C-alpha cells in the first residue's frame, strides 16, 4: 500500500457544495490501470483523476481521467478540479497566469482568473448531423416527442456527447430519463428567457452500459462543445452563463467567454476535502 495526497474539489458551484465534485489523486505514480479504475469506481463520482509527471516540457502535469471504470481522453470539470487540486498541493506553473495540462486529448491550457479557472474548449472529434434512427432513440430515452427537439448535432470532444437543443429551459428541466441499453452521453440545452442570469439550461445524461441514465450535475466538456455549436450557429453569443444542476437541487454556473480566438469555459473551483488515500 502506498499513500497519495488526495483532494475533492467542488467545480462550477455558485456557493458551497452546489457544483460538481471531482476526486483527485495526486502523485499517482505507481498506481496500475486497474487500481485507478477501482478507485474511480469506489468514489462513485462522475469522474476521478490521477496526476502524473508530464511527458512533454510544455505541460505542467499529466492527468488521467476516469468515469467509473472507463478512461476518458478529456473532461471539463475534472480538468478545472485537477488544476485547482494541483495548485492547492503546491504546484507551481511555468506561466503564473496559465496552467498547461497534458491529457489524452493533448495539451489543454487553463487560465487563472482570480478565484476561478477556465479551460480552452478543445476541438471536437465528431460533429455534424445525428442519424434519424439514433435521434429517435435518444428522444425516447429522454421522454421527448419529435417536436420537442429544435436541433441536434454531434458535439463529441472526447466522452461521446450528442447535443439536443429544446425549445426552452422549462422543457429541459421537465425531462425524466428512462432505462437504456449501451453507452450514452446525451447533452440537452434550452434557452432561458432573455434578461436572466443564465442564457441556457443544460442537463447531461450518461451510462456505460445497461441501466438507467445517470445525470452529471455540471459538465465542462459538454458546455464546451455546446458553446462551439451554439455560437457557431448564431444561437448564442459569448460571453454568457449556462445553468446546470437545477433539476438535481444544485446551482451550477458555467461561464463561456471568447478571447484570443478561443472559447474559454470557466467557473468556481473550491477544495472541499483534503487528505490522503492509500492504494
Residues assigned a catalytic role: 47
Q: Where in the chain is the domain with CATH 3.10.310.10?
A: 3-118+265-278, 126-260
Identify the pLDDT of residue 151.
98
Q: Number of helices (H) and strands (E), helices first, in the chain?
A: 5, 19
Q: Is the pLDDT of residue 181 over 80?
A: no
Rounded Cα distance between 260 and 56, Å, is: 24
pLDDT tens digits for 10-62?
999 999 999 999 999 999 999 999 999 999 999 999 899 999 999 999 999 99
Measured CA distances, 262 to 18, 67, 228, 266 (Å):
27, 26, 10, 12
Could you tell me the CATH superfamily of domain 3-118+265-278?
Diaminopimelate Epimerase; Chain A, domain 1 (3.10.310.10)
Q: Which residue has the higher pLDDT, 139 or 113?
A: 139
Predicted confidence at residue 213, as pLDDT, reads: 85
CATH, domain 126-260, list 1.20.1630.10, 3.40.50.11540, 3.10.310.10, 3.20.20.70: 3.10.310.10
Confidence of residue 210 (pLDDT cuts 50, 70, 90): low
Give the separation between CA 31 and CA 16, rounded to whole angstroms: 31
What distances in angstroms separate CA 18 from CA 10, 12, 24, 253, one per listed residue?
A: 8, 8, 18, 9
For the chain, the average pLDDT equals: 95
pTM for the whole thing?
0.93
Rg for the chain, CA atoms, rounded: 18
Amino acid at each position: 500500500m502506498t499513500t497519495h495526497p488526495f483532494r475533492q474539489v467542488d467545480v462550477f458551484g455558485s456557493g458551497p457544495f452546489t457544483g460538481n465534485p471531482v476526486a483527485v489523486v495526486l502523485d499517482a505514480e505507481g498506481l496500475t490501470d486497474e487500481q485507478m479504475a477501482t478507485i474511480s469506481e469506489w468514489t462513485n463520482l462522475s469522474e476521478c483523476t490521477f496526476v502524473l509527471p508530464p511527458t512533454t516540457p510544455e505541460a505542467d502535469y499529466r492527468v488521467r481521467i476516469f468515469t467509473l471504470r472507463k478512461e476518458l481522453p478529456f473532461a471539463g470539470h475534472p480538468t478545472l478540479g485537477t488544476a485547482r487540486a494541483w495548485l492547492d498541493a503546491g504546484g507551481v506553473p511555468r506561466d503564473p497566469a496559465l496552467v498547461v495540462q497534458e491529457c489524452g486529448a493533448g495539451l489543454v491550457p487553463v487560465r487563472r482568473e482570480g478565484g476561478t479557472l477556465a479551460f480552452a474548449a478543445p476541438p471536437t472529434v465528431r460533429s455534424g448531423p445525428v442519424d434519424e434512427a439514433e435521434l429517435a432513440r435518444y428522444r425516447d430515452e429522454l421522454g421527448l416527442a419529435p417536436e420537442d427537439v429544435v436541433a441536434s448535432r454531434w458535439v463529441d470532444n472526447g466522452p461521446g456527447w450528442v447535443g439536443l437543443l429544446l425549445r426552452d429551459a422549462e422543457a429541459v428541466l421537465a425531462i425524466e430519463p428512462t432505462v437504456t441499453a449501451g453507452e450514452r452521453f446525451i447533452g440537452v440545452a434550452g434557452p432561458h428567457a432573455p434578461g436572466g442570469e443564465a442564457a441556457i439550461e443544460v442537463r447531461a445524461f450518461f451510462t456505460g452500459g445497461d441501466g438507467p441514465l445517470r445525470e452529471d450535475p455540471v459538465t465542462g466538456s459538454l458546455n464546451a462543445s455546446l458553446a462551439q455549436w451554439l455560437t457557431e450557429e448564431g444561437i448564442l453569443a459569448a460571453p454568457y452563463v449556462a445553468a446546470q444542476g437545477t433539476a438535481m437541487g444544485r446551482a451550477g454556473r458555467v461561464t463561456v467567454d471568447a478571447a484570443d480566438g478561443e472559447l474559454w469555459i470557466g467557473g468556481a473551483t473550491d477544495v472541499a476535502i483534503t487528505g490522503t488515500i492509500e492504494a
